[in-house]
Structure 1
């Protein structure tokens, strides 16, 4: 039979309480048996010593023990108790027993003569265990008064007291078990309710429902677990949405060049367009665009799983920047753009992969060339800060709305306004740039440019100055 966690907790708490109650009951019973019997024996010894003067006076009056032999009435009169006499034996008739008689101590008293022979009293006298007190008259020992200790509760009043105690203990034990059951049930319901909710939510997540969330009821470990679960579910939901968008974007980006290639080939096949050098160049252009898209997707996927190979070594960052800038000067002039590089006088050393850094700077310049209006400016400025190197790529208008700046480095994300040109790429360039920067231990940020366009800022950890 499959038990729920609530049932298990209830059974564990209730079983623990049951063992505690049983242990306390056994301990109380043992303590009562031994403690109560000890109390009875102590009271009997006190009663024995208080009775001794009366026995001595009786002997002094009669001069021997003959007067008391087999005279039960006289014996109890000396002991000062009539509780154990019949109504006919009592001189004063029926009456209530005294408090001292309720212990039953008188019934265990035995009178012995000087030679330790029984005169009258308790016939079960045990010489080895009995407490003896000498009976002295005129400084001579004329007999012994003995009390045989209690081995169990025998008197009616004592048995009644023991029975009442046992009954009270059973009632208390039952109430304790009932109370512990209510507490265990409450704990099982209240404490484990969030756990059950998270178990149900986890099952829904396992079936693909990433929109499920659990309520946070407390700030303890269970509350922290609920918060972590919600964050995990949110991350899974975001990743699932990104995966769907990624597949949709890939399908869209691949469909366009493939559709152009198919149309061009069908036109050539049908004779609509002659097979010329221009047609071949057009096909080659679409194949190049398709090949670049596939390469970018492959590079981005490797970067995201951390599988992209980096061969890191000391690199002069200023030399790499200068080389890439010189390469783009001619292209910027074709687009009527001014490209400026502002380098500090110090050598800029970092530990990185030179080819990946060239790819990074080329992608950023490519992005600025695509999205900067003719007659505009592109300014690359480098600053040497304590512990890091800051590189900013700033261009002139058009700009990017501030609410869209945080999304520029997402894959396939492109601005739907003036910076989205037909000449633009698939929206993977900046995502690849982010992967390269992070692989070098740096960070990348976007912000509005003072020139009116976009400013992309890179932060690289600086390597101590090295000799070439």
Structure 2
């Protein structure tokens, strides 16, 4: 089966513009030709009718001068041409000029009939649509002067004029077609060249080359916007690919550490190097708990990414929730050698949220401070209402975080290179989970430098009541 070749976008654009121009030029040429012929023939016939009126006066005068008879024309047909000359008063004679009807040979289409409709002189075959004028002498119709109208342009001056007009019309149409072809060729190459570059870059991007970019130039039209959007897409894909690789590397690293410890402990027990006692069991249980916590955090983050993390929101008191969480962390805070400073309002701090998820939020914030703050430091927790929001501040003492690293604290597996690193045992997922929980409650969380010398985490949640 024969298949037509696939046309490029440039070829389709060229064909569309060129075909449209051809159709318009052809329609203009045909309509111009039709209108020219119709109007020109109408003009010629109008001039011929005017000439017919003048000829009727002359023919009537010739009839009277020759004894009220048409015999002089029957005997001398050569008198017919002389008889058709217009007869005007002597005062108007100098102003008489040859009429357009005489130039186009309209008088050759005149036919003279007598009163009985018998042809006397003139055009031998008058048409059925001939124009008649009665020749009246002394109130009696003595004959008929008939004009056969023009039905087409014949040879002569009128044909040369019509041909010249048609030539001009078709010349203009042909020039318009050539101009349209040039414009279509320019548009197909010039305007679509950036589109072809984007298409080629898209193929490279689809093949996995996320470093590909297109030259944006200084265009402010849709094509320029397309180039900028493509570059933004390529940048996002490149960044996501880098994050994916970092994520896989971090996950494998976090899993390798506790698995390596478990493997070593089990080999030691198997070889008899270590006895199976309470200490060995606690060590194994600790590594399993680390693995379990990492898997749970990854699972929660995956649910949050697809919007499947369940929330059961209800009215609650944030003051009571924060106080309960801080009380449960009392031993953990003391074990880390920290001093807790709690500043809560006397009145309830109402909010609308999921109590279990918000408790998880505050647990992660306190765990982050206990894990990464040096012993002998301080942990300050305050809460208050500002406008329509409840503001919770969690500040700790040294070590701190560099200002340029603060925005990245909520990235998965991100840790600073200072004392807040893997030696403290964290996987770097706690703050990412905190951010998802806060965003699910239509709030926001941000990291700042604490006046105490460490990290300051501020949480703003919509307040109700």
Q: TM-score, normalised by structure 2?
A: 0.90
The Cα offsets for residues 412-451 of structure 1, whole Å up to 9 and x where unpaired, read as: 0000113326224011111111111112221111111122
SS in 1 for 2:461: strand
1:29-44 alignment runs, 5 A limit: 29-44=33-48
Equivalent residue for 2:174? Answer: 174
The structure 2 residue matched to 1:8, chosen from 5, 12, 16, is 12
Counterpart-to-counterpart distance in 2, 1:102 and 1:12: 47
The Cα offsets for residues 161-210 of structure 1, whole Å up to 9 and x where unpaired, read as: 23333333332222221111111122222332232222222222222222
Counterpart-to-counterpart distance in 1, 2:347 and 2:215: 56
Equivalent residue for 1:113? Answer: 114
SS in 1 for 2:329: helix
Equivalent residue for 1:90? Answer: none
* Cα pair 1:370 1:421 within 8 Å, conserved: no
Between 161-170 and 312-321, the greater mean CA deviation after superposition:
161-170
Query: Are positions 1:75 and 2:80 aligned together?
Result: yes
1:55-454 alignment runs, 5 A limit: 55-63=59-67, 64-69=69-74, 71-80=76-85, 100-126=101-127, 128-137=128-137, 140-216=140-216, 218-420=219-421, 422-454=423-455
Counterpart-to-counterpart distance in 1, 2:215 and 2:351: 48
SS in 1 for 2:214: coil
Counterpart-to-counterpart distance in 2, 1:421 and 1:74: 129
Counterpart-to-counterpart distance in 2, 1:257 and 1:321: 32
Structure 2: runs of 5 or more not aligned: 87-97
Counterpart-to-counterpart distance in 2, 1:301 and 1:354: 21
Counterpart-to-counterpart distance in 1, 2:184 and 2:395: 67
Between 329-338 and 245-254, the greater mean CA deviation after superposition:
329-338
SS in 2 for 1:368: helix
Aligned-residue Cα RMSD (Å) equals: 2.2
* Cα pair 2:349 2:384 within 8 Å, conserved: no
The Cα offsets for residues 65-122 of structure 1, whole Å up to 9 and x where unpaired, read as: 22222644321122239xxxxxxxxxxxxxxx98543312011111222333221101
Equivalent residue for 1:84? Answer: none
* Cα pair 2:47 2:100 within 8 Å, conserved: no
Between 315-324 and 68-77, the greater mean CA deviation after superposition:
68-77
* Cα pair 2:48 2:101 within 8 Å, conserved: no
SS in 1 for 2:78: helix
Equivalent residue for 1:18? Answer: 22
The 3 A distance-change label for structure 1 pair 220 and 447 is same
Equivalent residue for 1:48? Answer: 52
The alignment of Structure 1 onto Structure 2 pairs a total of residues equal to 448
Counterpart-to-counterpart distance in 1, 2:248 and 2:334: 37
Deviation at 1:405, TM superposition (A): 0.5
Counterpart-to-counterpart distance in 2, 1:432 and 1:4: 50
Counterpart-to-counterpart distance in 1, 2:373 and 2:40: 103
